[in-house]
């Protein structure tokens, strides 16, 4: 991680009471914006990022020197058109791209917080990000959008602030983390904590970070973002720069080499403790439970227009879990549209060039905006 | 817009809440929204058609009427519209019951299998009738449960549903169906439109 680059940061002075009971204040939220806020301040879209995302939605990410994570969807003339809309995205608290997280130092001891960082929730993330609205003087967002964990934040945001968004777009997500979701996250956490360099979260120097554990966590998670079909078509049993199998444990197969690569590039940009904290926040997410088991009640105060999108090959947050949100909304007569996009690209579909998805997103936003 | 939709739209008062089941590309929905200030929702099984509705700015849910109507609370709409789709369901009776549970009233239109051209086709050619409203061959038609206007009227009465209005459509002609002309309308209308309530 290179935090030398100047990140846009809002210091939140107002105390924030976290779900765990702790209170934080004077904490940073790192954010980025695209496009410009109009005079009426009615064209702002708050984008929420997924587990390993950050505030650099589109254009060049100055830290990784790669395209922003949602470059297919966000930018001039794209589905979320930055010629029209003012896009705000911030790094979640618990993250490692400038917002308050476990890699920050304790102001008293000057030691890195590590596991002394409080356990945070999706609710805490959303409450922290709400401060950006005050910062920009925005009373009502035109839209809140996000996929995966971003979608969970979308749902929590509109539940917490029912009057603060005109349209609501949760994509490829769930209202409650399933046992399978928790299981995969636990696998990742175990990989990290089994790495001796993790040292109970107390790793400080550059050469003793738990990169091996974090890389394994990423490799396992990465498989869950793809579909069996897409893996088979892309890699099949193809061998990696060799004529035949080597009777060894090297990366004989291309898929092995690909996963190793994914793991190795991930550790350069992500903090292992952040991975623990954010996956925990996802596991704790159960919006219905916050309303005594009645998910509909989470949305009964809002008049926002919902558009829910799932993907056929997403087995991490399958269509039925997205539909459960639609059902809860229909139960209270909310304005809700839903489409399942046909795609072989698995959960990652929302990040990729999937034309049916991008056109549905664009049409929904642009049509809703002209109804202003 | 086809005549059938104009007739349906005339049956619905302004400012109502309406669900269009099998809303296709949203033509009727758009008309009702723009001209009658209807709070309109659609349910559509085809992904392509759902996309077309979204492009028109319509609120539509991708889904199957036989499974997905169950998510709507009782009487959550003033009207539920089902246009020329009843015959394509595995269980039309279940769908009718669901329409009347979800809506205060239902507007159901059916292609009339008793239409004289269909009878003549079967009588003279001895093969399954193919017409403008029923263009498919027997082996690839989506229509599983064809019925006549008379069949539908008998069914509705047998279930003690109230019929508010029955209309017969023959191209541009719209006429009322009543007990005394049922036999004639069943012969000369290619489409029946019914406003019913449980």
- A372 Cβ under 8 Å from any chain B Cβ: no
- Measured CA to CA, the distance from residue A96 to residue A46 in angstroms comes to 19
Q: A341: which chain B residues are within 8 Å (Cβ-Cβ)?
A: 47
CB A146 within 8 A of CB A49: yes
Q: How far is CA A224 from the centre of its chain?
A: 15
Asked if A148 is an active-site residue, the reply is yes
**Least CA distance to B74: which residue of chain A?**
A331
The contacts of residue A320 (CB under 8 Å, 6+ apart) are none
Q: Specify the CATH architecture of the domain B3-197.
A: 3-Layer(aba) Sandwich (3.40)
Q: Could you read off the pLDDT tens digit of each residue along chain A, which spans 372 residues?
A: 445 578 999 999 999 999 999 999 999 999 999 999 999 999 999 999 999 999 999 999 999 999 999 999 999 999 999 999 999 999 999 999 999 999 999 888 989 999 999 999 999 999 999 999 999 999 999 999 999 999 999 999 999 999 999 999 999 999 999 999 999 999 999 999 999 999 999 997 667 899 999 999 999 999 999 999 999 999 999 999 999 999 999 999 999 999 999 999 999 999 999 999 999 999 999 999 999 999 999 999 999 999 999 999 999 999 999 999 999 999 999 999 999 999 999 999 999 999 999 999 999 999 999 985
User: A10: Cβ–Cβ under 8 A, 6 or more apart, which residues?
Assistant: A28, A29, A31, A90, A131, A132, A135
Is A347 catalytic? The answer is: yes
Phi-psi region for residue A277, left (φ > 0), alpha (ψ -120 to 50) or beta? alpha
CA distance B43 to B61: 5
- Compute the nearest-CA separation of B26 from chain A (Å): 13
Residue A370 touches partner B, C-beta closer than 8 Å: yes
A contact residues 290-329, partner B, Cβ 8 Å cutoff: 305, 307, 326-327
Cα-Cα end-to-end distance for chain A: 42
pTM score over 0.90: yes
**At CB < 8 Å, which residues of chain B contact A?**
17, 47, 50-51, 54-63, 71-73, 76
Indicate yes or no: CB of A363 within 8 angstroms of CB of B55.
Answer: yes
Look at residues A334, A141, A350, A344 and name the one whose alpha carbon lies nearest to residue A228: A344
Record: contact A336-B55, CB cut-off 8 A: no
Contact residues, chain B, for A307 at CB < 8 Å: 54
Of A298, A304, A278, A252, whose CA–CA distance to A149 is shortest?
A: A278
User: What are the sequence ranges of the domains in chain B?
Assistant: 3-197
Picking from B48, B55, B59, B49, the residue whose alpha carbon sits closest to that of residue B25 is: B49
Residues of B in contact with A362 (CB under 8 A): none
Q: Which of B56, B62, B73 sits opposite A339 (nearest CB)?
A: B62
Selected residue of A79, A166, A296, A339 to mutate for chain B interface (largest B Cβ count, 10 A): A339
Cα(B63)–Cα(A338) distance, rounded to whole angstroms?
9
Answer whether A124's CB lies under 8 Å from A93's CB.
yes
d(CA A204, CA B34): 63
From chain B, the residues in CB contact with A327 under 8 A are 71
Check if A364 contacts B (Cβ < 8 Å): yes
Indicate which residue of A71, A143, A148, A313 is catalytic.
A148
Inspect the interface and report whether the beta carbons of B57 and A356 lie closer than 8 Å. no
Instruction: Indicate left, alpha or beta for A244 from its phi (over 0: left) and psi (-120 to 50: alpha).
Output: beta
In this structure, what DSSP letter does residue B44 have? E
Of A337, A340, A342, the CB nearest to B59: A337
| Residues from chain B contacting residue A337 (CB–CB below 8 Å) | 54, 58-61
> What is the structure's pLDDT at A1?
47
pLDDT tens, residue by residue, A315-334 = 999 999 999 999 999 999 99
Residues 6+ apart with CB under 8 A from B2: none
CB A99 within 8 A of CB A24: no
What are A117's two structure tokens?
A: 């960082």
Decide if B61 and A364 are in contact by the 8 Å CB cutoff. Answer: no
Task: Using 70 as the pLDDT threshold, list the residues of chain B that sit under it.
Answer: none
Rounded to whole angstroms, the maximal C-alpha distance in chain B is 49
* Inter-chain residue contact B71 with A330, CB threshold 8 Å: yes
Nearest CA in chain B to A361: B54
Per CB-CB distance under 8 Å, the chain B contacts of A368 are 57
How many angstroms separate the CA atoms of A65 and A59, rounded?
10
CB distance A31 to A132 below 8 Å:
yes
Q: Please tell me the predicted confidence (pLDDT) of residue A204.
A: 76
A364 to B50: CB separation less than 8 angstroms, yes or no: no
Closest Cβ opposite residue B54 in set A327, A363, A370:
A363
Long-range contacts of A103-109 (CB under 8 A, 24+ apart): A103/A1, A103/A271, A103/A273, A103/A274, A104/A28
> How far apart (Å, rounded) are the C-alpha atoms in residues A32 and B160?
63
Residue to mutate among B47, B58, B80, B103, with most A CBs inside 10 A, is B47
Among A297, A310, A327, A330, the strongest candidate for a mutation testing the B interface, having the largest count of B CBs within 10 A, is: A330
- Output the pLDDT for position A185: 98
CB contact under 8 Å between B50 and A339, yes or no, is yes
Q: Please state the φ and ψ torsions of residue A40, each to the nearest 5 degrees.
A: -75, -10
> Which residues in A219-315 belong to E strands, given as ranges?
305-311
Contact indicator for A299, A329 with CB cutoff of 8 Å: yes
For residue A335, the chain B residue with the least C-alpha distance is: B59
Put simply, the answer to whether B59 touches A327 (Cβ < 8 Å) is no
DSSP A146-157: EETHHHHHHHHH
> In this predicted structure, what is the pLDDT of residue A205?
66
A340 to chain B, any CB pair closer than 8 A? The answer is yes
B59 neighbors A167 (Cβ within 8 angstroms): no
CA distance A141 to A38: 12
Residue A108 pLDDT: 87
Domains and CATH numbers, chain A: 9-178+285-370 (3.40.50.1820), 182-279 (1.10.1740.110)
Which one of the listed residues A90, A124, A252, A347 is annotated catalytic? A347
Identify all chain B residues contacting A338, using CB atoms and an 8 Å cutoff: 60-63
């Amino acid at each position: 991680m290179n935090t030398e680059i100047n990140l846009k940061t809002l210091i939140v002075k107002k105390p924030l009471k976290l779900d765990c009971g702790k209170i934080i204040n004077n904490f940073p939220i790192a954010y980025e914006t695209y496009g410009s806020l109009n005079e009426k301040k009615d064209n702002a879209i708050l984008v929420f990022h997924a587990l390993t995302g950050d505030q650099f939605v589109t254009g060049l990410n100055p830290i990784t020197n790669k395209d922003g994570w949602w470059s297919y969807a966000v930018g001039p003339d794209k589905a979320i058109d930055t010629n029209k809309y003012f896009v705000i995205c911030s790094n979640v608290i618990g993250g490692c791209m400038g917002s308050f997280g476990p890699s920050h130092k304790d102001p008293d001891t000057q030691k890195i917080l590590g596991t002394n960082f409080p356990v945070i929730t999706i609710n805490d993330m959303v409450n922290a990000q709400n401060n950006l609205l005050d910062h920009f003087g925005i009373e009502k967002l035109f839209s809140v959008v996000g996929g995966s964990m971003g979608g969970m934040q979308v749902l929590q945001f509109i539940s917490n602030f029912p009057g603060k968004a005109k349209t609501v777009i949760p994509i490829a997500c769930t209202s409650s983390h399933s046992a399978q979701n928790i299981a995969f996250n636990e696998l990742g956490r175990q990989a990290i904590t089994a790495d001796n360099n993790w040292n109970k979260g107390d790793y400080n120097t550059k050469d003793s970070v738990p990169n091996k554990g974090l890389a394994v966590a990423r490799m396992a998670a990465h498989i869950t973002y793809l579909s069996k079909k897409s893996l088979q078509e892309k890699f099949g049993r193809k061998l990696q720069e060799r004529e035949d199998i080597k009777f060894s444990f090297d990366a004989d197969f291309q898929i092995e080499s690909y996963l190793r690569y994914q793991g190795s590039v991930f550790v350069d940009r992500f903090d292992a403790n952040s991975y623990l904290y954010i996956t925990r926040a996802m596991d704790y997410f159960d919006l219905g439970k916050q309303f005594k088991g009645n998910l509909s009640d989470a949305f009964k105060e809002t008049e926002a227009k919902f558009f829910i999108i799932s993907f056929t090959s997403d087995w991490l947050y399958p269509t039925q879990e997205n539909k459960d949100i639609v059902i809860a909304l229909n139960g209270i007569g909310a304005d809700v549209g839903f489409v399942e996009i046909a795609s072989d690209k698995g959960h990652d579909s929302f990040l990729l060039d999937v034309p049916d998805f991008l056109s549905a997103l664009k049409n929904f936003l642009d049509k809703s905006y002209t109804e202003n | 817009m086809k005549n059938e939709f104009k007739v349906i739209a005339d049956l619905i008062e302004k400012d109502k809440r309406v669900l269009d089941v099998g809303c296709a590309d949203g033509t009727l929905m758009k008309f009702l929204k723009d001209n009658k200030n209807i709070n309109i929702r659609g349910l559509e099984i085809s992904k392509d058609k759902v996309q077309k509705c979204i492009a028109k700015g319509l609120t539509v849910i991708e889904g199957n009427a036989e499974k997905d109507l169950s998510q709507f609370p009782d009487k959550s709409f003033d009207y539920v519209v089902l246009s020329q789709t009843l015959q394509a369901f595995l269980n039309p009776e279940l769908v009718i019951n669901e329409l009347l549970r979800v809506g205060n009233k239902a507007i159901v239109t059916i292609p009339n299998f008793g239409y004289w051209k269909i009878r003549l086709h079967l009588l003279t050619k001895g093969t399954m009738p193919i017409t403008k409203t029923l263009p498919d061959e027997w082996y690839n038609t989506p229509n599983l449960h064809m019925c006549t206007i008379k069949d539908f009227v008998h069914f509705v009465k047998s279930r003690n549903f109230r019929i508010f209005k029955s209309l017969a459509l023959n191209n541009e002609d719209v006429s009322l169906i009543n007990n005394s002309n049922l036999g004639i309308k069943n012969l000369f209308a290619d489409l029946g439109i019914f406003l019913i309530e449980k």
